[in-house]
Structure 1
Amino acid sequence: MFSKARLKLTAWYLVIIMSVSLLFSAVIYRSVDIELSRIERRQQVRIERFRQELFRLPDFPDMFVEVPVTEIRRRLIAALTFINSGILIISGGAGFFLAGRTLKPIEDMVNEQNRFIADASHEFRTPLTSLKSQTEVSLRDKKLTLSQAKEMLASNLEEADNLQAISDRLLELAQIEKPNYFVFKAVDIKSAVNSALSKVRPLAKQKSITVASQIKSRIMEGDGKSLTEMLVIFLDNAIKYSRENTSVNLTGKISGQSQVLVISDQGSGISKEDLPHIFERFYRGDKSRSASGYGLGLSIAKKIIDAHHGTVEVASKKNQGTTFTVRLPLKQSVSFI
């Protein structure tokens, strides 16, 4: 699809460039031709006057005047043809290159949307298939007891909760990508951290994991709600993939004009093969498949960081743990209310 679009865009580039080039060539040729005609007429007038003054002067052949002018016209046409041919070749190559550069972001966006739709369909299909199969089995079972029916309904309710969780994450991801979603204002980073800690501590308590925080109060520009959500995602992941009776640490410091947040755990780590893909939608490494989740959390966190013009780095060792380092500017480049 994009190959044809690239060729069409290149053709339009050529049409526009060559139209301008031929128009300028026509103007140049017309201007030079008018000037040559004027020179030719002046020469003819001078020769006629010269003949009248010298009656015995033999007639000058017409080619004495016309040949040089005709030669100049022919050379001008040849030069303009050569120049336009060169422009056609160069602009064709340049147009093809620029068309590719122009369409590349659109192609990437369309490919990402296609992958997103395919992955979302797959994630929805799994719980839907489970719901359908369990219901069909129960309907065919003529000896289904009340306890078995309740067990089946409880399982279906769990799958329905999974579907709702996926749809909520997808809606959140769609909202984040809207241009006016984030409202930047003065935020105390410690307040955002405390809000995030209060949300993840119940999960940490279930696994006997200690969540330690060393964050000083600091005012920065940002969207408080989304910053809390970002921290919840990182802390939730750290707790999920950490072994029991371990610790998760959250520290912060000021580096230049940036607030640095470091989240480290003592979990199973991330393989080198998975590291480049962890922020992709629905991506889950081999270790991640044993834990609950849908591969959307880190993608949302990355969107929040990007919206704050920040960066995130990941360092991980297998069976030793993972460290996320988030850098957020204290002041945004855009004005806020």
Structure 2
Amino acid sequence: MFQSARVKLTAWYLLIIMLISIFFSAVIYNVLTHEFNRILRIEQLKRQGLPFGDDILRHGIRIIPPHPEVIQNAKERLLAILGIVNLGIFGFSGIAGYFLAGRTLRPIKEMVDEQNRFITDASHELRTPITSIKTETEVNLRDRKISKDVKKIMKSNLEDINNLQTLSDNLIRLTQYQRSNGNIVLVETSLKKIADKACKKVANLAKHKKITMNNKIQNCTIVGDRQSLLEAFVIFLDNAIKYSPKNTSVMLDSKINNYSVVVNIKDEGIGIDKKEIPHIFERFYRVDKSRTKTSVEGFGLGLSIAKQIIDKHNGKISVESGVGKGTTFSVQLPKR
């Protein structure tokens, strides 16, 4: 992430410096060209027999008027010199800009790294007490002496504990994928097998909502990390099912070209407002509940994790949606 930002910042530095350099080069060239042309006009007047003479005498020294070819050669040399100077400025500015961009982004990178370390450490520290509370609650729920009201409260508490555990696990995975390597191991793998396995993982949820899964993914070999890609597709399918009404369908299909494969996950759900689409991959972002009739559990981390996974595979995600028109997530992945 920061390497990409560093390159972009260097490009902006370089663009600004080169615009200034080219502007001043153009000014210098125009001024000197104007002077050359003025000298040529004076020479032409002299040759026409006007009171300039064939040569000019200054302080006892005869100065022979320049020939037009000499002036033209001087212009060409000036243009070449300015071009070389600008190329030198371009090279030096690129190196210096890259260095300065790194220095500029370093404090931000250190702050983000510290934040990610805190999130990871805090999530790990929470795992032990959460697991302990969950175990004790599950044991107490098996006690027949507990009244129904107490059991009801404990079941509610257990749901909240499970949500906290999910949040903790998601935060750890998100910070892992945000690292430079992201724990990604790239190997040749079958896209169809990953899609089939992802559909099986969400089959119970789809069955509960009476949603039909149409998997039309073509057999294709890609280079990727099986486990992380499986997690990403499960997230997309899970979202498609959760935000779809009952008795609808979710479709998966693929388009293969020479260099990449595009996987489309299309649902018939509530859709997303166009103003919300640029933000759906942000951490903890949830679509405005007032615009939806469906109450969906979650913390808004799933799509953030999915995007990090696809980014680590040098892929792209695009979204087409509208309120009440369903949503299509298109995932483009490079082939082997």
TM-score, normalised with respect to structure 2? 0.58
Partner letter of residue 296 of structure 2?
Answer: A
User: Is residue 265–residue 321 contact of structure 1 (8 Å, CA) maintained in 2?
Assistant: yes
Alignment partner, residue 154 of structure 2: 153
Alignment partner, residue 269 of structure 2: 267
Which runs of 4 or more aligned residues in structure 1 lie more than 3 Å from their structure 2 counterparts after TM superposition?
A: 95-102, 108-118
SS in 1 for 2:202: helix
Instruction: State the alpha-carbon separation in 1 of the partners of residues 275 and 184 from structure 2.
Output: 33
**Structure 2 residue ranges without an equivalent (≥5):** 1-95, 134-145
1:177-256 alignment to 2 at 5 Å? 177-178=178-179, 179=181, 181-256=183-258
Q: 1:115 to 1:189 in 2, by over 3 A?
A: closer
Alignment partner, residue 330 of structure 1: 335
Q: 1:213 to 1:113 in 2, by over 3 A?
A: farther
Alignment partner, residue 296 of structure 1: 301
Alignment partner, residue 322 of structure 2: 317
Larger Rg: 1
SS in 1 for 2:210: coil
Q: 1:241 to 1:103 in 2, by over 3 A?
A: same
TM-align CA RMSD: 3.1
Instruction: State the alpha-carbon separation in 2 of the partners of residues 165 and 230 from structure 1.
Output: 16
Q: 1:283 to 1:202 in 2, by over 3 A?
A: same
1:133-172 alignment to 2 at 5 Å? 146-172=147-173
User: Is residue 274–residue 285 contact of structure 1 (8 Å, CA) maintained in 2?
Assistant: yes
Q: 1:166 to 1:105 in 2, by over 3 A?
A: same
Q: How many residues are aligned here? A: 217
SS in 2 for 1:192: helix
Instruction: State the alpha-carbon separation in 1 of the partners of residues 98 and 188 from structure 2.
Output: 45
Q: 1:264 to 1:98 in 2, by over 3 A?
A: same
User: Is residue 116–residue 281 contact of structure 1 (8 Å, CA) maintained in 2?
Assistant: no
Instruction: State the alpha-carbon separation in 2 of the partners of residues 252 and 97 from structure 1.
Output: 39
Partner letter of residue 209 of structure 1?
Answer: I
Among 302, 305, 310, the alignment partner of 1:305 is 310
TM-score, normalised with respect to structure 1? 0.58
Instruction: State the alpha-carbon separation in 1 of the partners of residues 315 and 260 from structure 2.
Output: 9
**Structure 1 residue ranges without an equivalent (≥5):** 1-94, 132-144, 332-337
Shift of 1:153: 1.2
SS in 2 for 1:229: helix
User: Is residue 271–residue 316 contact of structure 1 (8 Å, CA) maintained in 2?
Assistant: yes
Shift of 1:243: 1.0
